[in-house]
Structure 1
Amino acid sequence: MIYKFRVLSDEDELFLRDFDVDSESTFLTLHKAIQENLGFDPSQLVSFFLADEHWNKGMELTLIDMQNDTGLAAIPMDKVKIKELITKRKERLLYTYDIFADRNLFIELIDIAEAKEGIEYPLCTASLGEAPIQVADDIILDFDAENDEKNEIDELFDEFNDDDFDSLGFEDDSEF
């Protein structure tokens, strides 16, 4: 069977890709089709996540075999066929292509059909809009020790002073 996946981005409402993929293929095959079509750097870490109807992340499929602290199963994407986890229209995946900024493509199975003779899969069947930038350049970590300006996190911590903790019974450092 051939699965038709629709890929959308929340960063650009004009972005859309449709991919036809053999259901016998692994998630690695779908990953490579997305990477090639979007011109992404294949050396970057990415993951697929099974998602529910509200796009909440479920089981993770990783590019490399790695341990996962979330308690959810993490499976290398080359070890599982698409049809083993995706079986019905409307099932969803998140494709996290910028791990550090948690930027995702939203993928939904929109159709299941018979393979057409003479067609080599995977195949991009619809392409609209520009691909998102793979790694967010606007994320800059500045650890300048001379910069003593308070940020939002500092302000949140300042709301809880020592007296707040004293009322919880932690009056003396030796209790920790």
Structure 2
Amino acid sequence: MIYKFRMLSDEDELFLRDFEVDADSTFYTFHKAIQENLGFDPGQLASFFLADEQWNKGMELTLIDMQNDTEMAAIPMDKVKIKELMCNRRERLLYVYDIFTDRSLFIELIDILEPNPAVKYPVCTASVGDAPIQLAEDFAFEEDIPLEEPNEIDDIFDEYNDEDGLGNLGFEDKDEW
């Protein structure tokens, strides 16, 4: 079976992507298709989360194995086929692509189709709008903000600056302290 997913962003209402993915593919295969389509740096961490109807995070599927001594903290996305966790229309995923600021794309299973033998899956079947910027630190500011704004306190301190650092404090010599 082929799963058709719709992806939206809460940062740009004009952004939309539809992907068709073989249900036997792993979440890692889907992740790679998303990364390639959006032009994201594949060296950055990302995770899928199963989500409920209100988009609350459930089980995490990670890019790297985060196993600890007691139990697995999350499931590596290359170990799970999509059909193992999703099988009904309207099931949801969050794709967290900037883990430090928790920026996500919202993904919903919108259709289940028969495979087309002429198509190599996964495939992006609809692409509207520009991809979001991958990392929040890459946002460009519209205006340059000066690092230091002159203020009244700085002006007062400047009045007292001179070569020996004592200014007009009424001391003739440092030894008088």
Alpha carbons 2:66, 2:72 under 8 Å: kept? no
The aligned counterpart of 1:61 is 61
Query: Distance between the aligned counterparts of 1:124 and 1:118, measured in 2?
Result: 15
Kindly tell me the number of residue pairs found equivalent between the two proteins. Answer: 137
**What are the within-5 Å matches in structure 2 for residues 98-113 of structure 1?**
98-113=98-113
Query: How far off its partner does 1:76 sit?
Result: 0.1
Bigger CA radius of gyration: 2
4+ residue runs of structure 1 moved beyond 2 angstroms?
A: none
Partner of 2:14: helix, strand, or coil?
A: coil
Segments of 5+ residues of structure 1 without an aligned counterpart are: 140-176
Counterpart of 1:129 in structure 2 is 129
| % identical aligned pairs | 77
Task: Give the 3-state SS of the residue equivalent to 1:36 in structure 2.
Answer: helix
Contact 1:59 1:72 in 2 (8 A): no
Aligned to 2:2: 2
Tell me how large the CA RMSD over aligned residues is. 1.7
> What's the counterpart of residue 157 of structure 1?
none
Aligned residues of 2:7 and 2:106 also touching (Cα < 8 A): yes
Structure-to-structure mapping, 1:42-121, within 5 angstroms: 42-67=42-67, 74-121=74-121
**What are the Cα deviations for residues 84-129 of structure 1, in whole angstroms up to 9, with x where unaligned?**
0001000000000000000000000000010011110000000000
Query: Helix, strand or coil for the counterpart of 1:78?
Result: helix
Q: Is the 8 A contact 1:58 1:72 kept in 2?
A: no
Runs of 5+ consecutive residues of structure 2 not aligned to the other structure: 141-177
One-letter code aligned to 1:32: K
User: Within 2, Cα distance between the matches of 1:90 and 1:124?
Assistant: 19
Cα offsets for 1:57-101 (capped at 9, x unmatched): 000000000148xx9951000000000000100000000000000
The AA in structure 1 aligned to 2:98 is D
Deviates more, 1:71-80 or 1:13-22: 71-80
Which residue identity does 2:4 align to in structure 1? K
Tell me, yes or no, if the aligned pair for 2:7 and 2:18 is still in contact at 8 Å: yes
- Paired with 1:101 and 1:73, the residues of 2 have a C-alpha distance of 20
> 2:33 — aligned with what?
33
Q: Which amino acid aligns with 1:119?
A: V
CA distance in 2, matches of 1:129, 1:8: 10
For residues 5 and 39 of structure 2, the distance between their equivalents in structure 1, rounded to whole angstroms, comes to 18
